[in-house]
Structure 1
Amino acid sequence: MGVQSLVVACGAVALCLALTTATNPGFVVRITQAGLDYAHQHGITILEKELAQLKLPDMSGDSRVGRVGKVRYELSRLRLRDFHLPYSRITPISNVGLQVSISNAFAELDGDWRVKFLFVRDHGSFDLKVENVYIKISLRLGSDAAGKPTVSTSECSARISKVRVLFSGRLGWLYNLFHGAIESRFRKILEDKICDIVDKSVQNELQTYVQTLPVTARIDAKTGIDYSLVAAPRATAQSLDAGLKGEFYSLAHRSTVPFSPLPLALPSDHDCMVYFGASSYFFNTAGIAYHEAGALVFEITEDMIPKDSRFSLDTSLFSVFIPQLEEMYPNMPVKFRLSTPTAPFLTIGPGGISLNPIVEAQAYAILPNSSLAPLFLLSLTGNVSAVINVRSDHIVGSLDVGRIRLSLKDSAVGTFEVRTMQSLMNILTSSSLLPRLNARLDEGFPLPLLDRIQLSNILVRFYQNFLLLGADVHFQPRG
């Protein structure tokens, strides 16, 4: 094999490895043009304030004026009264980043002047007007080692078309004759200073703010969510997309998820400012995390039975179905321990979210000495549907369980017909288990939002393998 062939082969292997190790996101955030425009308004306001604090150095020099000859001038106490950015826009540039274009900006300054020529000395004040300022800023988007977004200035250019200096004073008319040299110096200084301010504003304000994106979110004492970026945010012609890991994990022991997220392609909707795509992978890792953390274990005892149920959870209740139970454990309280042998797995489709979990219900008799005597083990299956919504900054939900199907897996009290217990188990799960699950789901799971962002006008749509949430955003200033 020649050197060229070897290089080609190595390149092909490297490409294959890159493709096979590429990570699909489990969660996608899309900021549309409307969202970028909203963020841009706040960014321009900050930049305008930063530019208004611009400090200009004193300057001095010599200029030759007609028959007067060489004039020595000094300009000091330069004060920027205001800096206005009336027209600007932000544009996503595909596979590059974001571009901010500012046009027709203007500023006003004043200061003191002092001149000397021949035997004449004079001083006074001056006004300077800067007009037709054009600024172009290119922003590079990336991610750091922790998976947080980064933003930096990759390019900045400022062009000032018009600078006018007007001197006042006893001989102001004369000094206005050499304003050209001063105006060109002002133009150069201002153009450089503007980009310095832009760089500092991006680094100190914008970069600091985007770092407030939480890449991990603690849900409760047992689980958390990983929202770290799997790659740098990607600009398209119409939006800015960020792919996040979108993975729940157990705080006690984080294990590798035994399956990978499928490619997630959001629809081309752009009516909302921001969209969140939560894949089935995202929700299924929640099942794994809670299962590994031991959080999918529930107990049903007498004190959890609604008062209007008109029955007591004891062996006499079950002796109707299992006559021998009354002889073995007469009038003893019964406890059920419900658990899932495997993590529940859900599917998302245009019709919504559904799952068919398998739950094992172990029944115990509570003996007089408080020890437990195993009675029987049931397997419960049924169709479960989920309702999803967004409240504040959390995904919330609730479950609805259809008819439960029973099967007997083990028994210490002899065989019996489980069909006769169907209605009773429906009551126990709907009145005791389901409210506890829905109470937890009602607390919700946090969305990956930057600091002080609130959502409104929320929509929820279902697609194959993912849930789409759309919303408008509102930035809440401090104080």
Structure 2
Amino acid sequence: MGAQSAAVACGTLALCLALSAATNPGFVVRITQAGLDYAHQHGIAVLEKELTKVKVPDISGDFRIRHVGKVHYELSRLDLRSFHLPYSRISLLPSLGLQVSISNAFASVDGNWRVKLYFIRDHGSFDLRVENVYIKINLKLGKDSSGKPTISTSDCSTHISKVWVHFSGKLGWLYNLFYRAVEQRFRKILESKVCDMVANSVHTELQPYAQTLPVTSKIDDMVGIDYALVAPPAATAQSLDVDLKGEFYSLAHRSAVPFSPLPLALPPDHDHMVYFGVSSYFLNTASFAYHTAGALVFEITDSMIPKDVEFHLTTSTFSAFIPELEKMYPNTPMKLRLSTPSPPFLSITPEGLSLRPVVDIQAYAILSSDHLAPLFLLSLTGNVSAVINVSSGHIVGNLTMGRMKLSLKHSDVGTFQVRTLQSMMNIYTSSILLPNLNERLGQGFPLPLPDRIKLHNTIVRFQQDSLMLGADVHYEPRARS
């Protein structure tokens, strides 16, 4: 093997290895049979309306009657008045997609007829009823280059068992002679037209709706969420699973996340229509993205302290614990700048969600509007627990602060006992920092939902390294103008 061939082979092998080492999803959506059945109800209602739009072409032809001669007939102005699909079901086709089976459907058609036999001419109207229509539709599921889901018709078949035609007019014996020819041609045309309309309905109705699933969601001015599909939706024997990237990112500068998602498995629950698997990776990329965007910085000034707190954020207050302060900066307003030296990562266990953030607290004396004097730098560590819920299609949270510990990292005002500041810092964090964080978490982060879908009957369950959200769905059609 030459050097160039070897290089190509090595490159191909590297690419194959890279593709085989597929990244685990950070977020999984599972649609159960109950969810598919609900979607199917609305889809069938749309298909019924679409099938009434089938345009049946005029039918004409000649047939020969023994001992009589050739008869020419024409059927025109064919109008498909109704198409009813009373019995249908949707099934999962493992590794393939979905199948919709429709049985005992029926339709009604009317129109005009005209016949010519030598000098005999007649015309009138007719009513046609199609019964025992069976339709089978296979739907192929995929994803496009942007990570949005795609749906297409991979196979469709229609079979019509019965066609009844009633012709108005006086020459009943003549109509019965060409009835068979009309019935066969009409059945063949309608069977073809139904599948054409099914494919068109999937392309113009179902596919555009599937594309309303948000691939990216802007959370605020700093951070967004990537919900792109990492693989085509996978049909199993009991559910349809959709693997999403599930990653927060900084809008200003998107950088690679320095950690990878663990395998994410949902328990075999099927009581709700839809389940969301949320990995610790997904939540921790939020921390990483906000930290990268410089958003995990918070400043506390005296004006932010609640009125029921008796002390102010000034050097006079702190001089009781740090004697040098009053000498160096007597009765001077102060500012605390809180920041995280690294993204605070959380852990998820069956008992719940928790994190141990490390926060740097830099204290300044405010000498003027543009001049700050550094005083001391503290490090705060603590136990924080979180409550997760679902509200209005958003994951919302609430933090509760546990035990905190302070340590001194640097001082510009001499040495002092840090433990004497413990209660004061507890008040600052619990009455100012925590409410601000919880206000933002209360707004939540949007779940990946297609247009006009609302959730109800939600549940939240914790498991190792992930949490599961279950819900039923309600589709809200657009109001008619």
Tell me how far 1:19 sits from its aligned partner. Answer: 2.2
Task: Report whether the alignment pairs 1:94 with 2:89.
Answer: no
Separation (CA, whole Å) in 2 of partners of 1:108 and 1:68: 32
Q: Which residue of 1 aligns with 2:203?
A: 203
Separation (CA, whole Å) in 1 of partners of 2:399 and 2:362: 22
- Percent identity over the alignment is 70
Q: Which residue of 2 aligns with 1:230?
A: 230
- Contact 1:82–1:107 (CA under 8 A) maintained in structure 2: yes
Correspondences of 1:212-231 after superposition (within 5 Å): 212-231=212-231
Correspondences of 1:146-161 after superposition (within 5 Å): 146-161=146-161
Amino acid at match of 2:20: L
Q: Which residue of 1 aligns with 2:325?
A: 325
Tell me how far 1:460 sits from its aligned partner. Answer: 0.7
Q: Which residue of 2 aligns with 1:112?
A: 112
Q: Which residue of 2 aligns with 1:422?
A: 422
Separation (CA, whole Å) in 2 of partners of 1:406 and 1:426: 10
Higher mean displacement: 375-384 or 361-370: 361-370
Q: Secondary structure at the match of 1:214?
A: coil
Q: Which residue of 1 aligns with 2:251?
A: 251
Task: Report whether the alignment pairs 1:18 with 2:19.
Answer: yes
Amino acid at match of 2:348: I
Task: Report whether the alignment pairs 1:28 with 2:28.
Answer: yes
Q: Secondary structure at the match of 1:258?
A: coil
Q: Which residue of 2 aligns with 1:166?
A: 166
Q: Cα gap change, 1:329/1:12 in structure 2, threshold over 3 Å: closer, same or farther? A: closer
Separation (CA, whole Å) in 1 of partners of 2:28 and 2:170: 67
Deviations 1:292-317 (A, max 9, x none): 11110001110111111111111111
Separation (CA, whole Å) in 2 of partners of 1:362 and 1:169: 98
Deviations 1:223-252 (A, max 9, x none): 100001111111111111111111000000
Deviations 1:38-78 (A, max 9, x none): 11111111111010111111111112234433211111111
Separation (CA, whole Å) in 1 of partners of 2:10 and 2:307: 74
Tell me how far 1:165 sits from its aligned partner. Answer: 1.5
Q: Which residue of 1 aligns with 2:121?
A: 121
Tell me how far 1:197 sits from its aligned partner. Answer: 0.1
> How many residues were matched structurally?
473
Q: Which residue of 2 aligns with 1:260?
A: 260
Deviations 1:156-193 (A, max 9, x none): 11111111222110113431232111100001000000
Separation (CA, whole Å) in 2 of partners of 1:317 and 1:223: 38
Deviations 1:394-427 (A, max 9, x none): 1111100112100000000111111111111100
Tell me how far 1:16 sits from its aligned partner. Answer: 3.9
Higher mean displacement: 367-376 or 224-233: 367-376
TM-score (norm 1): 0.96
Task: Report whether the alignment pairs 1:433 with 2:449.
Answer: no
- Contact 1:387–1:399 (CA under 8 A) maintained in structure 2: yes
Tell me how far 1:369 sits from its aligned partner. Answer: 6.3
Q: Which residue of 1 aligns with 2:445?
A: 445
Tell me how far 1:345 sits from its aligned partner. Answer: 0.5
Tell me how far 1:13 sits from its aligned partner. Answer: 7.1
Correspondences of 1:16-415 after superposition (within 5 Å): 16-20=17-21, 22-368=22-368, 371-415=371-415
Separation (CA, whole Å) in 2 of partners of 1:157 and 1:11: 42
Q: Secondary structure at the match of 1:55?
A: coil
Higher mean displacement: 112-121 or 143-152: 112-121
- Contact 1:344–1:357 (CA under 8 A) maintained in structure 2: yes
Separation (CA, whole Å) in 2 of partners of 1:253 and 1:9: 33
Amino acid at match of 1:98: L
Separation (CA, whole Å) in 2 of partners of 1:213 and 1:142: 13
Separation (CA, whole Å) in 1 of partners of 2:453 and 2:128: 40
Q: Cα gap change, 1:9/1:338 in structure 2, threshold over 3 Å: closer, same or farther? A: closer
Separation (CA, whole Å) in 2 of partners of 1:11 and 1:228: 26
Deviations 1:360-385 (A, max 9, x none): 00011112565211110000000001
Separation (CA, whole Å) in 1 of partners of 2:345 and 2:44: 46
- Contact 1:214–1:449 (CA under 8 A) maintained in structure 2: yes
Separation (CA, whole Å) in 1 of partners of 2:117 and 2:369: 111
- Contact 1:104–1:134 (CA under 8 A) maintained in structure 2: yes
- Contact 1:165–1:176 (CA under 8 A) maintained in structure 2: no
Q: Secondary structure at the match of 1:204?
A: helix
Higher mean displacement: 171-180 or 124-133: 171-180
Tell me how far 1:118 sits from its aligned partner. Answer: 2.6
Q: Secondary structure at the match of 2:194?
A: helix
Deviations 1:92-124 (A, max 9, x none): 111100010001111111111110113211111
Amino acid at match of 1:224: G
Separation (CA, whole Å) in 2 of partners of 1:14 and 1:100: 38
TM-score (norm 2): 0.96
